[in-house]
Structure 1
């Protein structure tokens, strides 16, 4: 009898369109979809999964593995604006989980992040730490993890999601590419960050709103210059979907 498929974790730089990707996974209906469990845990001191409460990263990983082993495959996404040292010291993260990554062109992601949180620190923009997690996974597994790009996701939605599903052992479900607009209860604490997804019914490329960018703001220019090399290093491995 073959082993159960491993849970899937999507590590994403903030404002990479990762919540839209998670919304597709939620629409499938066959996964236990978990929204930013480790970052919520850091802020709130606890996280509830299937009615149980975890108070540490290791305990939360235990619970995710148990849910997955119980027959419902877990898909979780989290962001790299926090650090997860105890989690990255747990070898099960590398042996028992499929770690995948999501990036977005830094200048756009940074401008979007700044519009939401102008007090964000350099580290909170997340590209450097996302690269550190990627390197930890690659070093522990000896394999290059899957990387997708949020710009590819909106440019070629079906091809990107189809290719991702193939790599992680999921059936592609085209019907999951559309959904009914509305907020999700488990996003309530960070609701304003996900308003665009809540108002949408699918992936649509939009013209960027007028906002401060690295071209107009010296602080953002320095932030972008710092994070660009980490994006470039990850982008060399990004999945290039064929439409």
Structure 2
């Protein structure tokens, strides 16, 4: 999201379905900042979809979504754009997620939702591509140039760096989730996380890993 926010031709929106998700799921009981999210965001999922489709602020629109935030919404609107499933190796992702949500479940981390979305795209013949975040970190310039070529927009080197600190596009949940990106000024080189993986998360890891491996068959 921060890379695309640097482009003068691009308008980015941060997780427009978050309010809808919290209003209609048990996650509102334990996600930080729930009250502010529910009081400031559109909670009707269909209205969120309509606002996305009607948006024409810039030639390129970038909507950062969590696929599990869409719950049971009709997803046919996704035919109107190119869909990118951004994923991450589960062991690293789960260990990071636990720093904010202590006892995550599959609905929180989204891998099953990503697989459901993959199946939907394949069944309905909707364009999509899978991106592994590690691949971006290994070669930011090369990967983003290839990605821009794939989606049909010119690559701009401005995507490789940004000023540290919050951005106006950040959702109100940024103080809880974006500490590291607010410290950054670009893509940090990839380094494996040096962690002792929590035993409590091993069953969830076991469920997520085969989904991640399936997604990798469709990555750019």
| Shared fold per TM-score greater than 0.5 | yes
Of the three residues 85, 104, 109, the one matched with 1:125 is 109
- Aligned twin of 1:26: 5
Query: What's the CA shift for 1:159?
Result: 1.6
1:82 is aligned to 2:63 = no
Structure 2: distance between partners of 1:231 and 1:96: 26
Q: What runs of 5+ residues in structure 2 fail to find an aligned partner?
A: 23-36
Query: What's the CA shift for 1:92?
Result: 2.2
Q: Normalising by structure 2, what TM-score?
A: 0.83
Q: 1:108-187 counterparts in 2 under 5 A?
A: 108-141=92-125, 143=127, 145-185=128-168, 186-187=170-171
Query: What's the CA shift for 1:117?
Result: 1.4
Structure 1: distance between partners of 2:119 and 2:88: 18
- Aligned twin of 1:235: 216
- Aligned twin of 2:47: 59
Q: Secondary structure at the match of 1:183?
A: coil
- Aligned twin of 2:77: 92
Q: 1:68-79 counterparts in 2 under 5 A?
A: 68=56, 72-79=59-66
Structure 1: distance between partners of 2:204 and 2:43: 33
Structure 2: distance between partners of 1:142 and 1:187: 28
The superposition leaves residues 17-57 of structure 1 with CA deviations (integer Å, 9 ceiling, x where unpaired) of xxxxx100001121110011112433344766xxxxx4422
Query: What's the CA shift for 1:90?
Result: 4.1
Q: Secondary structure at the match of 2:103?
A: coil
Of the three residues 216, 219, 222, the one matched with 2:203 is 222
Verify the 8 A CA contact 1:147 1:235 in the aligned structure 2.
yes
Query: What's the CA shift for 1:84?
Result: 2.4
Cα gap change, 1:196 to 1:36, in 2 (>3 Å): same
The superposition leaves residues 139-161 of structure 1 with CA deviations (integer Å, 9 ceiling, x where unpaired) of 11255x21111111111111221
Structure 2: distance between partners of 1:192 and 1:165: 30
Structure 1: distance between partners of 2:160 and 2:114: 26
Q: Normalising by structure 1, what TM-score?
A: 0.76
Structure 1: distance between partners of 2:146 and 2:39: 34
RMSD across aligned C-alpha pairs, in angstroms? 2.2
Query: What's the CA shift for 1:120?
Result: 1.6
Q: Secondary structure at the match of 1:102?
A: strand
